Amino acid sequence: MKRSVLLCLFLLSSFAIMADNQIASPDGNIVVTISTDNGSPHYRVAYKGQVVIAPSALGMVTNIGDYTMALVEKSFETKMVSDSYSLPNIKQSHVDYKANEAIVRYERGEKPAMDITFRVSNRDVAFRYTLHPRGETRVCVVEREVSNFALPDGTTTFLCPQSKPMGGFARTTPSYETSYTLDEPAGRNGWGEGYTFPCLFRRQEVLNGSKGSKGSKGNAEDLWILISETGTDGGYVGCRLVNEKGSTYSIGFPQKGEMNGVGEPTPAMALPASTPWRTITVGPLANIVETTVPFDLVEQKYKPSQEYIYGKGSWSWIIGMDPSCNFDEQKRYIDFSAAMGWQSVLIDAFWDQQIGYERMAELSRYAQQKGVGLFLWYNSNGTWNDAPQTPIGKLNNARIRREEMKWMKDNGIRGIKVDFFGGDKQPMMQLYEDILSDANDFGLMCIFHGCTLPRGWERMYPNYVASEAVLASENLHFGQGACDAEAKNGCIHPFIRNTVGSMDFGGSTLNKFYSADNKRGTVRRTSDVYALATAVLFQSAVQHFAMAPNNLTDAPTWAVEFMKQVPTTWDEVRFIDGYPGKYIILARHTGSKWFVVGINAEEQTLKKTITLPMFEKGTSLSVYSDDAQLNGSVKTVSQNKKQQITLTIPCNGGVVITND
Ligand code: CA
């Protein structure tokens, strides 16, 4: 009797100090617990009973008050939310989104202070903060966010270091172009500046059975965790992940030195206002590859001014570099795109000097007669780096930008590729948004290079196409090391960079060498089938491939024919098998046409029997594969009764299976 009274008292007192609120995903697999501990909010996350995020801090410190402590929890409200949306330019053309939402409202002096909104769907946890005006005070500067992510001990990391500001080529960093480290223990901090989003983590063999337990069939699966953010616009800054200690990482703001030190790393907000969402995708690797969370949580910010044309195109610069951006060579590439049945040509830097505006208008007319649209390269720069490439000084000023865009509209230009941005401070995020919304006024699509990660932009900005934000194909031209590591990197991107946003990689080379005569320069190590596979593996609704006009005669006919047909927009993605940096097999389809593709970076030939339920027994399949010397070929097979097929992928090779 006495004991139970004591226990009751103990429970009551602990409730008084710490109120636990819980919210689960619709399928119950993910459980988020939100507690207010002596006025400080915390959260923790579990997936199928396994710890994903141990108790971690919430809140922010602003110049009008500290929202990490002395908060009074006023209410905890939950509801179901659902959304149904179609987006032609992401991994899945239609999404039925279902989640449970919880809003914890905090007060100070009996006035609303801060809300924390959580959304929990079957694959993802997301949260964001909403700050309210404080009396007559309606603006604030967020000095720091304390939001952190305490990962369980023993978690390993798959991360891309943030580069220091004003470094690299012509002082253009950070531009999300560094090499990943794979399966490293937690506790490091990249090059001292943390890591760019998204950040992938792994807990070894904790799902569906315990590690090493006797009698288990060894079917335990790793638990994966992908941390990122979405919904970032000119109302905030782009964030990164900084190691606090051990396996705990926290939200970091931009570095002070970005934009040549001009502007603050801290965001300013007009209240009431909400921050971008912090997202945590959890589960087996399929959840990581198939997540749509970057798009589920955002809204379209303006209507498209016209229907935008997605598709394939060619791009001379990757093989011919700056000198190729001349009238005759671009005309040859327009003819090449037309011969391939492709939709566009991307004309890179120095076109304003080497072709000029008048002859560009002539070139655009020529392209239009051939059913080809032109994308033109621009330097974003005002005052944030030394990159001399032109046109320059055209897009960083609204008056000049809109004049330039009017000229493009008048001359039938389809879109722009803007390069060399200056980091993630708020004025730079505003520049992205201003370029996008002005471009929409003039019917132009936007591709960004030397840039930040897109954060839900495919849905927010209907004329946004894709961003680089990765060590992309240019490095294959610049150095043999990148060619040697091409397959390894190709096996990373579908799990990390490309899963949260369209990636403008500019790959699928069929040249043997990265040079116009195809006889010298860096040597491609990957096979032709690998090139075909990555056309499906890397997702972007507009793809400018690294193929060249000579490939019409010097590349295998089956490869060229495949590249004419391959889609760039997809109804769905299904992860089949793989491991970051080692190999990947996935499937995409558009309508009833499926493409199952795989690539292998491991020294040992990959041999896998996979079940492909999307192909009925007896379906005629084209199988593109490599022999041990990486010579590709295509053969037709009929789907067997078990609906299984055995793949053999040598190192640096690929496989593609498609229904005829
Ligand atoms: Ca670049």
CATH number of the domain to which 84 belongs = 2.70.98.10
Name all contacts of 180-184 with Cβ < 8 Å and 24+ positions apart: 180/489, 180/492, 180/496, 180/581, 181/157, 182/158, 182/492, 182/580, 182/581, 183/156, 183/157, 183/158, 183/581, 184/156, 184/157, 184/159
3-class SS of residue 406: helix
Domain total of the chain:
3
CA of 290 to the centre of ligand 1 (A): 26
CA of 381 to the centre of ligand 1 (A): 14
CA of 30 to the centre of ligand 1 (A): 38
Looking at the fold, whether 276 and 185 belong to one and the same domain comes out as yes
CA of 274 to the centre of ligand 1 (A): 32
Runs of H (alpha helix) within 171-320: 285-290, 293-296, 317-320
CA of 346 to the centre of ligand 1 (A): 15
Choose the final residue of a domain: 540, 569, 598. 569
In this model, does residue 35 exceed pLDDT 50? Answer: yes
Condensed to tens digits (0 to 9), the pLDDT of residues 62-89 reads 999 999 999 999 999 999 999 999 999 9
Write down the pLDDT at residue 584.
98
CA of 171 to the centre of ligand 1 (A): 12
CA distance 577 to 606: 11
Indicate the length of the chain as a whole number.
660
Condensed to tens digits (0 to 9), the pLDDT of residues 401-456 reads 999 999 999 999 999 999 999 999 999 999 999 999 999 999 999 999 999 999 99
Binned at pLDDT 50, 70 and 90, residue 20 comes out as: confident
3-class SS of residue 654: strand
Looking at the fold, whether 283 and 316 belong to one and the same domain comes out as no
CA of 535 to the centre of ligand 1 (A): 19
Looking at the fold, whether 101 and 206 belong to one and the same domain comes out as yes
Element containing residue 2 per DSSP (H, E): helix 2-17
Write down the pLDDT at residue 220.
85
Residue with tokens 């305490």, as numbered in its chain: 150
Q: Is residue 303 part of a domain?
A: no
Q: What b-and-e string marks burial along 604-624, b requiring 16 or more CB atoms within 10 Å of the CB?
A: eebebebebebbeeebebebb
CA distance 556 to 538: 22
Dihedral of CA 607/613/617/620: which sign? Answer: negative
Looking at the fold, whether 565 and 581 belong to one and the same domain comes out as no
CA of 468 to the centre of ligand 1 (A): 7
Residue with tokens 């990959």, as numbered in its chain: 606
Looking at the fold, whether 63 and 205 belong to one and the same domain comes out as yes
CA of 241 to the centre of ligand 1 (A): 22
Choose the final residue of a domain: 266, 296, 326. 296
Q: Is residue 554 part of a domain?
A: yes
Looking at the fold, whether 543 and 596 belong to one and the same domain comes out as no
CA of 315 to the centre of ligand 1 (A): 15
Q: What CATH number is associated with residue 388?
A: 3.20.20.70
Condensed to tens digits (0 to 9), the pLDDT of residues 498-509 reads 999 999 999 999
Q: Is residue 8 part of a domain?
A: no
**Phi and psi based region of residue 643 (left: phi greater than 0; alpha: psi -120 to 50; beta: remaining):** left
> Peptide bond preceding 494: is omega within 30 degrees of 0, i.e. cis?
no
CA of 287 to the centre of ligand 1 (A): 29
Dihedral of CA 202/491/30/42: which sign? Answer: positive
Looking at the fold, whether 272 and 376 belong to one and the same domain comes out as no
Looking at the fold, whether 37 and 137 belong to one and the same domain comes out as yes
Range of the domain at 611: 577-659
CA of 498 to the centre of ligand 1 (A): 16
CA of 463 to the centre of ligand 1 (A): 21
Choose the final residue of a domain: 544, 569, 594. 569
Condensed to tens digits (0 to 9), the pLDDT of residues 330-379 reads 999 999 999 999 999 999 999 999 999 999 999 999 999 999 999 999 99
CA of 471 to the centre of ligand 1 (A): 7
228 strand-pairing partners: 279
CA of 177 to the centre of ligand 1 (A): 7
CA distance 465 to 458: 7
In this model, does residue 15 exceed pLDDT 80? Answer: no
Of the candidates 368, 357, 307, 300, which has an alpha carbon nearest to the alpha carbon of residue 327? 357
Element containing residue 588 per DSSP (H, E): strand 583-590
Condensed to tens digits (0 to 9), the pLDDT of residues 601-650 reads 999 999 999 999 999 999 999 999 999 999 999 999 999 999 999 999 99
Q: What CATH number is associated with residue 646?
A: 2.60.40.1180
Q: What is the CA radius of gyration of the chain?
A: 26
3-class SS of residue 169: helix
Q: Is residue 185 part of a domain?
A: yes
